[in-house]
Amino acid sequence: MSRGTTAIVDFENLRHNFQVLSKLAPGKLVLVVKADAYGHGLKKIVQALDGVDCFAVATIDEALIVRQVRPKARVLLLEGFLDNDELLVAIQNQFDSVIHQKEQFDMFLKLEPNESMNIWLKYDSGMNRLGFTDAEFSTAITSLNNHKNVNELILMSHFASANLADNEFTVEQTKKFLQYRNNQKVSLSNSSALLNKEYLPDEWCRVGLALFGISPIESKTAADFNLKPVMKLKTNIIAIKEIKAGESVGYGQVFKAKATMKIAIIGIGYGDGYPWSLTKKAHVKIQNQPANIVGLVSMDMMAIDISHIPSANIGGSVLIWGKDQYSNLPIEKVAANANTIPYVLLCQITSRVHYKYVE
């Protein structure tokens, strides 16, 4: 018997999603693989994808990992270089870089004539996170157009609410951004805008969550867009016991049985990245039958109600999220039942979860 807590990553589904998004995109695609490819394994994901226009990451360390795997790939630093050392590393490795603040802009202007790179100049159209204000953006465009150290200039911004279809703020952001475009290439849309078909003609669309077969759009699942889940997370039953009416399960005695019931203890907990705070709807699946989580999630395990699943046995497989030959439990639903979002579930998987990569 094995604890069996495993994240199984399906390359066939990954490539399927890439093809679906490529056909939907109006121009080129930037595949966002930051945060260890959203918890899927950066090296393995980058190795599995051919014909990619550009990979995007958050940090210089992530970019260097991509460069090891794909020596000739176009790699974009979404947060840009944060000091002179990072700027030189970016140039040496031929990374593209976002410039989103004056300090970066000033560092770039001090480069030697033979030091050049592709620049993605970021405008803050309303996200109020990274990006230049109106006056700063206009000045920076003027300075960087035809600049000797700029190989290619792309203007970009970031949507705040593109996950909501026909959102007025998205329209407002687009209008503000486009007033500065003058024949430059642009990048504005994310996964949500692409799936909602609210993209610009011939732009560089930046897709992250959708690549991994997960919908970022409220009330929609990946299947609605012909996307397939790339990861399934599973574990095993490590113990089964019967408890009587009035007996409690787990820490704090927050759950008490109303009648005699059978519970299974499964080998996953918050130490593996499963959320501790859950709604009463939170469940896993055994052979496509839902099994509600009872009591509080422990560090290494949690209890589920299997009273209605007589075939459940010690060592049996339990689907935490994803899709297997018996069951389907979308991560979007799991996230909703934990009052969180799929991004968080993926990014908080810990190192003790085993990964298995399959074709």
Residue of 34, 122, 228, 285 marked catalytic: 34
Residue 185: pLDDT above 70? yes
Range 11-216 classified under CATH 3.40.718.10: no
- Which residues of the chain are in CATH 2.40.37.10 domains? 231-358
Mean pLDDT for all residues in the chain: 95
Predicted confidence (pLDDT) at residue 1 exceeds the cutoff of 70: no
Known catalytic residue at 262: no
Active site includes 34? Answer: yes
Counting residues of the chain whose pLDDT is more than 90, the rounded percentage is 92
Instruction: State the catalytic residue, choosing from 175, 197, 241, 251.
Output: 251
CATH 3.20.20.10 in the chain: give the residue spans: 11-216
Q: Is the pLDDT of residue 307 over 80?
A: yes
- The per-residue pLDDT for 220 is 86
Give the tens place of pLDDT for each residue, 66-82. 999 999 999 999 999 99
Mean pLDDT of the 24-28 span: 93
Selected from 3.40.50.2300, 2.40.37.10, 3.30.420.40, 3.20.20.70, the CATH number assigned to the domain covering 231-358 reads 2.40.37.10
The model scores a pTM over 0.85:
yes
In sequence order, the 6+-apart residues with CB closer than 8 A to the CB of 330 are 221, 222, 223, 229, 321
> What confidence tens digit (pLDDT) does each residue in 251-301 have?
999 999 999 999 999 999 999 999 999 999 999 999 999 999 999 999 999
Axis-axis angle for helices 84-92, 60-69 (nearest 10): 10
